[in-house]
Every structure is written in structure tokens, then in C-alpha cells.
Amino acid sequence: MLILSLLSLSQNVDERVAIQFYENNDFEKAESVFKKLYKRGSPSVIVYEYFLNTLIAMKKYKDAEKLVETQLRKFPNNLILNVDLGMIYDRSGKNDKSKNYFDKVIRSSQSNIFKIRSLADGFKRRGYVDEAIKTYEFGIKKHGTLVFYIDLIYAYRVGLKVKDLVDFSLMLVAEDPNKFSFVIKNLDGVFDNSTNTSYLQKQSLSYLQNDPNNLVFGLLLVECYVQQKKFDLALKQIISIDRLEGAKGKRVLSFARLCVENKSFVVAGKAYSYLVNQGKFNTYYIEGQNGLINTLYAQTTLAINPSKEKINALTVKIKQFIDKEGVNYRTAQSIFRLAEINIFYLDKTEIAVGLLLELLKAPRLRETFVAKTKLILGDCYLILNNIWDARLMYGQVEKQFKEEALGQEARFKSAQLSYYVGDFDYAKNQLDILKTATTQLISNNALELSLLIQDNTGLDSTDDAMKEYAKAEFLLYQNKISKCKETLNLLPFKYPNHSLSDEILYLKARLQEKLGNHEEANRLYQSVYENYSQDILADNALFRSALINLQVLENKERALALFEKIILEYNSSLFVSRARDYYFNLIGEDAQNRQ
């Protein structure tokens, strides 16, 4: 036992030494030690592997061939060794011999599933993906599609055989529709290329024409249309599938939400309208109504200068819906939207307060929805100068949700209230806590307001300039335009060369936007980002100017340049993501127009 133990220890030491030689590219020394270990009859697979790789590295193909043949005599049933032998033929330039040998091995391995998998694994291990695919394809002919479908789909993916992947995937779901979820997950790479997506679309359509009642081909078509942003075509297909399933709108509802996420509001509106038109006894009627109202609200208010006609039409639509269905948890979303319209677009805050107070009495509202309602009610009170009630609403939400996103939003609003009324120390204390908020928007807004207070207080004993500026901002928030304008116009004269100069310009621009003077607003925004490019409001001004140029002045080239400037020069800005979306949409539109 002692002698055997010492021999084993000696072999392990030699093995480690030989491996070290190999890894240091000292192949001659490595070969000498591995040859000695192999002749000694080492049972270690590692010795064989490294010995073979060493001989290949030294281009000693005849010796490598002999080594594999010797190993095959020892283990005649080991199919992986057959791959090694074919590999030696290939590496030594005997390509035809290698190909014929691989074909022979593949055909002879088809007797059972274990052999097929073992041989394919051997091919993949040595980098022969095409041969592994061929092995599985033969296996499917012998044993059926469902035995090797996972292996073959993965192999097609690794081998970048996109058309083969598409053709086999369609054949698979035709045979077994339950494999659709697996297939769609593994077709993700197809959608990276428009040509491949078009091929999948063409093949899916062909299958669908031959078997119009097979839903999976319709769903594959939908996926193609969605990836190509052809939401209108996708909706037609979804409606067709919905009718075949007798699902009464379930798929249409999910698709409508997807369209909203992708800002395809027109198609989302059509999808929700389809649900509404099914009648009020349809399962998804109320969700369709709420979804349609939300979509119209998003579509209308996305514009920098929303159409008054569209706002009024939407108001009428919401009122009609509420009159029919009453004030309850089912209509709550639409009532909330109506309150927002009254606050932000109709300057009817008192009406909004009445709507929100009535809404809060409705039973079965979700806690988060109640909290959002209280927050906007607090905004209403603030606009109406009811400071105590506003603080009460914000405080209730903050207390209930604490470190959650809603609680952080409530804390920010409370800090903003303190800023408006000139309590800068308390406001900054709360804002500094919110700099690490989980929501990027809250974190960014907190940082922005905190820096504003920090940079513009302590410059004199009274902080009078800052208090008057905060008052002007509060007046604009309350939509008291003339008083705000008067305060802003006096500030530069009362406090010349003050550090608030860029903030005053920016607030003047916002005021001009409220008045509908977009050209003047654009000029003021331009002055901010050109003269105060390093200050915190530069990216805000750039984004607002870009939107005005795009949506009002219809100067796409200028808007494109401004969006690009945000992306390249203000890459940490909160507006980068939205600027990028606008930028690439404009680029895409230009490309389509050229075609």
C-alpha cells in the first residue's frame, strides 16, 4: 500500500509538471513527460487530453493519430474518440478523409439516443458545430422531432444558422403548438436583423395560409410585426387570433398596453376602442374605457402645446363615462385623469378638488391609488394657497409609505412646499436625504433643487433674492401669470449680477411657454444653454428648446441637433433617455422619407 501510494504521488507530481510545461508553451518537455505517463498506463483522461493537444501543437499528426487509434482500441465504444480521430485528419490537411469519416461515424451512431447525444457533445467540444447539427438532424429522422428539438435549436443558435433555426422552429410548433413559448424565447436573435425578421414573417405567413386555424403562426406574425414596430398590422392579427380563441379581448388588452409602452398611441386607441365596441357586458369593457381615456390623455398631453379642442373633447368623453358608470373603483383611473385635466389644462383647480374628495370616498380603492390621489389633492391645495392642507396630504402619504417611491415623492413635494414659502433650511435638509432616492426622477429633482438653494442662499443676511425667486416660481406653479411676470421682471433690477441670473432666465422661458409665446420661450432657453452651459439648468433648457423646435416651430433639423447635443454633452442628464428616443425616431423618419 505504501509503494502504491508513493507511485500515485509521483504520477500526480509528474502530471502537474507536464501541464505546467504545456501551459508555458514548452511542448517538447511536455511531450516527454506525457509520453512517459501514457506508456506507464496512466488511467487519467487529463493525461490523454493534454498529450493529444501537445502533439497537435507540435504538428506531430501521425503520432497524434497513433495515440487516438491506441485509445480507441482500449475504448472502442467511446464515440468522442472517433471525433478526435476525424479532427486529426482535418488538422493534418486530409479534409475529404475527415469529412467521410465523420459522415460514417454519424450514420453508425443512430441506433440509440445516448450514442447520438454523446457523439454530438464530442463534436461541440471540438468545435465542429455543423457536424453536431448533422448528428441531431439524423437523430430526428430516426427517433422523431421531440427527442432532440432542444439540442438542435441550441445548436442552430450557436452555429448562427438563422434560416435553419426558423424553419425547424416552425416545423416544431406545427407538430406541437405547446412548444411555442420555448421557440419564441430562442428566436430572439432572429429579431436582431431585419432580413432575418422578414424571413420569419414570410415563413410564418406561409404556414398560416396553409393552416389558418393554428394560432401559433399568427402569434409568430404578431411578434415579427411588433419587432418591426408595425403595430397596426400586429393589431389586425391579434384581433383575428382573439376571435379564433373566443377570448373576448384578453389578448387585445395586453397588446394595447404594449402599444402604450411603445408610445404607439394611435394603435393603442384602436385596440381599446375594439374592447369598448364589444359592449358594456364584455369582460374587458371597463378596462377598455379606462385604457382608451388614459391613452387619449397621454397622446394629447404629450404635445408641448396640447390642442384645446382635444382637451375639451376628452373632458366630455370622461364625464360621459363617469355619468354612466358612477364614481367607484372601476372608474377611478378616469376620474383621476379628469382631475389632472382640470388642474393642469383648464385652470379649474376647485373642480379638481371636488372630484378628488369624492373619489377618496369610494370603497375598494388600492392603497397606492389612494396615496396618489392624496398627492395630487395636496398639489391642488398648494395651488389654492392652502398650505396647511397641502402639507397634511403630503405628510399622510410620507408616513404611510416611508422609504417607498410614493413616500419619497411625498417628501419631495413637502420639501418643495417649504422652498416655495422660504423655509430653505428645512427644505434643503429633506432634499439632501432624497438625493439617494430609489426613483431617479425624485433623486434628480431633489439634487437640482438642493443645489439651487445651496448656490443662492447665504449670500446676504436675509436671502431676500432667493425668497423672491422662490415666490415667483410658486406664483407660476399657481398659474398666477401676471404676478409671476411682475416679480421676475423686477428681480434683475433689485439684485443685479446675482447668481440667480440663469434661473431667472429659465423661469421666464417657462412663463412664456405658459402664455403660448413659444418663439420667445425658445429664445430664452437658448440663452440659458449657451450662456450657462455648465449650470444645472442647461440640459433642461436644451430639452425644452428641442421640443419647441420639433413640435411647435417644426424645425426638425434644429431639434435633431439639440437632442444630439444632450446625448453627447450631457450624458448623465435625466433627459438623455427621452432625447435618445426622439433622436432615433427622427433619424428613422428621415430614412423612410428617403426610401
Which three cell numbers, joined as nine digits, stand for 463? 436671502
For residue 594, what pLDDT is reported? 54
Indicate if the alpha-carbon torsion angle 458, 463, 466, 471 is positive or negative. positive
Check: CB of residue 360 under 8 Å from CB of residue 374.
yes
Give which of 292, 284, 240 is closest to 266, Cα–Cα. Answer: 292
Q: What gap in Å lies between CA 81 and CA 105, rounded to an integer?
A: 11
**Mean pLDDT, range 414-442, rounded to an integer:** 92
**Mean pLDDT, range 259-278, rounded to an integer:** 95
**Mean pLDDT, range 250-274, rounded to an integer:** 95
Confidence (pTM): 0.82
Indicate if the alpha-carbon torsion angle 230, 231, 232, 237 is positive or negative. positive
DSSP single-letter state for residue 191: G
For residue 5, what pLDDT is reported? 43
Check: CB of residue 180 under 8 Å from CB of residue 219.
yes
Q: What gap in Å lies between CA 25 and CA 379, rounded to an integer?
A: 73
Give which of 90, 91, 80, 135 is closest to 112, Cα–Cα. Answer: 135
Buried b (16+ CB within 10 A) or exposed e, 436-456: ebebeebbbbbbebbbbbeeb
Q: What gap in Å lies between CA 260 and CA 264, rounded to an integer?
A: 6
Confidence of residue 7 (pLDDT cuts 50, 70, 90): very low
Helix, strand, coil % over all residues of the chain, rounded to 5: 80, 0, 20
For residue 462, what pLDDT is reported? 65
Rounded to whole angstroms, what are the CA distances from 79 to 66, 87, 110, 155, 403? 17, 13, 12, 19, 61
DSSP single-letter state for residue 549: I
Q: What gap in Å lies between CA 231 and CA 252, rounded to an integer?
A: 12
DSSP single-letter state for residue 212: T
Confidence of residue 214 (pLDDT cuts 50, 70, 90): confident
Each residue of 494-504: pLDDT tens digit? 888 888 999 99
Residue 345: CB atoms within 10 Å: 18
Check: CB of residue 407 under 8 Å from CB of residue 372.
no
Check: CB of residue 584 under 8 Å from CB of residue 340.
no
Give which of 261, 532, 440, 588 is closest to 580, Cα–Cα. Answer: 588
> What is the percentage of the chain residues whose pLDDT exceeds 90?
72
Give which of 316, 322, 311, 312 is closest to 289, Cα–Cα. Answer: 322
Q: What gap in Å lies between CA 566 and CA 555, rounded to an integer?
A: 17
DSSP single-letter state for residue 177: G
**Mean pLDDT, range 567-595, rounded to an integer:** 82
Q: What gap in Å lies between CA 393 and CA 381, rounded to an integer?
A: 9
**Mean pLDDT, range 207-224, rounded to an integer:** 91
Domains of the chain with bracketed CATH: 386-499 (no CATH), 500-594 (1.25.40.10)
Each residue of 385-404: pLDDT tens digit? 999 999 999 999 999 998 89
Q: What gap in Å lies between CA 385 and CA 504, rounded to an integer?
A: 23
Q: What gap in Å lies between CA 526 and CA 548, rounded to an integer?
A: 11
**C-alpha torsion 63→69→75→79, nearest 10:** 100
Mind giving me the DSSP string for 486-519?
A: HHHHHHHHHSTT-TTHHHHHHHHHHHHHHHT-HH
Give which of 189, 191, 217 is closest to 204, Cα–Cα. Answer: 217
Which amino acid, 41? G
**Counting runs of H as helices and runs of E as strands, what totals does the chain give?**
32, 0
- Per-residue pLDDT at 595 exceeds 60: no
DSSP single-letter state for residue 552: I
Check: CB of residue 196 under 8 Å from CB of residue 166.
yes
Confidence of residue 590 (pLDDT cuts 50, 70, 90): low
Check: CB of residue 177 under 8 Å from CB of residue 218.
no
Check: CB of residue 470 under 8 Å from CB of residue 500.
no
Q: What gap in Å lies between CA 579 and CA 567, rounded to an integer?
A: 7
Each residue of 89-117: pLDDT tens digit? 999 999 999 999 999 999 999 988 999 99
Each residue of 492-530: pLDDT tens digit? 888 888 889 999 999 999 999 999 999 999 999 999 999
- Indicate the average pLDDT of the chain: 91
Q: What gap in Å lies between CA 410 and CA 429, rounded to an integer?
A: 15
Q: How far apart are the first and last CA of the chain?
A: 83
Task: Name which residue leads in pLDDT, 567 or 17.
Answer: 567
Site of grid cell 436625504: 433
Angle, CA of 162, 167 and 168, to the nearest 5°: 100
Each residue of 143-154: pLDDT tens digit? 999 999 999 999
Give which of 582, 585, 552, 580 is closest to 568, Cα–Cα. Answer: 580
- Per-residue pLDDT at 411 exceeds 70: yes
**Mean pLDDT, range 216-245, rounded to an integer:** 93
Confidence of residue 473 (pLDDT cuts 50, 70, 90): very high
DSSP single-letter state for residue 264: -
Which three cell numbers, joined as nine digits, stand for 269? 386607441
Q: What gap in Å lies between CA 427 and CA 470, rounded to an integer?
A: 12
Which three cell numbers, joined as nine digits, stand for 121? 457533445
**Mean pLDDT, range 278-292, rounded to an integer:** 94
Buried b (16+ CB within 10 A) or exposed e, 42-51: beeeebbebb
Site of grid cell 405628510: 395
Check: CB of residue 415 under 8 Å from CB of residue 503.
no
For residue 6, what pLDDT is reported? 34
Give which of 546, 534, 535, 536 is closest to 579, Cα–Cα. Answer: 546
For residue 37, what pLDDT is reported? 83
Confidence of residue 3 (pLDDT cuts 50, 70, 90): very low
Q: What gap in Å lies between CA 505 and CA 492, rounded to an integer?
A: 10
- Per-residue pLDDT at 228 exceeds 80: yes
- Per-residue pLDDT at 11 exceeds 90: no
Which amino acid, 30? A
